Amino acid sequence: MRLRLLLLALLGLPAAALAQKKSYTSAKRGKNGQVKSVTVDNLTGYDDKWFHPGFYIGLNASRYRLEHSQAYVDRLRGGTGISANAKMSPGFAVGFVGDVRLADYWNLRFTPGVSFLTRQVEFKKVGAAPDSVQDQEIGSTQIDLPLLIKFKSDRRRNTRVYMVGGVRPSFNVGNRKKDPERSQMQVGNADFAIEYGVGLDLFYPFFKFAPELRFSHGLSNLSKPGNDIYSTSFQRIRTNTVTLYLTFE
């Protein structure tokens, strides 16, 4: 799905960039020459400004990318281990947008915000493993500080497509624990991820609305050393997140 979206964006950018510029006002006429509808370009001087503020809300789905340890493998081979698999969970985010014009087709975007995430790891007993093992849920509130480069096409009337890419440092500022038995697994509080995505700028008379689909891959190892069965099961834990952003500028 990610590859298809990126291919569609790559095919759409050159086509939009080579499109001929239309007049600010376009009238659609009927057979008798009567005007049926008029299309007007909105916010015609929008791209001439060097800075655009805004805000966003986002709906995300996130999970851990698990790399099991040798101890995990040895326990499974001995028939006393557990199987551990990451599960995708929903969340949401809110934040602000600061967009700086660098060149005709390039912008620098800083989009600080707060994400409310829940990630789950499903544990299943294998053989003579302890019966007390339970699925683990890590609910966190984190501060996100994405810094992105935006490459956009030419406008075609009131729409254009764009691509973004960059990095996102994140810091956990609070854990939400619903059940202590299901919140024993510990992970790190700071993450650093690469992000990329595609979006569509839609120009309205008083603001610009942009739905954007963005993918995030954590590079930091969030696993914490410990002696419990959860901590010893992994040697690396990273994050994967897919977010649909709705941005207003």
Measured CA to CA, the distance from residue 199 to residue 247 in angstroms comes to 10
Q: What is the pLDDT of residue 4?
A: 55
Domains of the chain: 2-13+64-248 (2.40.160)
Residue 59 Cα to chain centre, angstroms: 9
DSSP state of 128: T
Question: Cβ distance 111 to 96 under 8 Å?
Answer: yes
Phi, psi of 47 (to 5 degrees): -75, -5
Distances (CA, A) of 200 to 25, 122, 153, 156, 249: 22, 36, 10, 11, 13
Give 14-29 as a DSSP string.
HHHHTSPPPPSEEEEE
| Pairing between β-strand 234-248 and β-strand 51-68 as defined by DSSP bridges | antiparallel
Q: What is the largest CA-CA distance in the chain?
A: 85
Per-residue pLDDT 10s for the chain (249 aa) are 555 544 444 444 444 433 334 434 555 555 565 555 557 889 888 989 999 999 999 999 999 999 988 888 888 888 777 888 899 999 999 999 999 999 999 999 999 999 999 899 988 877 766 667 788 888 889 999 999 999 999 999 999 999 999 999 999 988 777 777 777 888 899 999 999 999 999 999 999 999 999 999 999 999 988 777 888 889 999 999 999 999 999
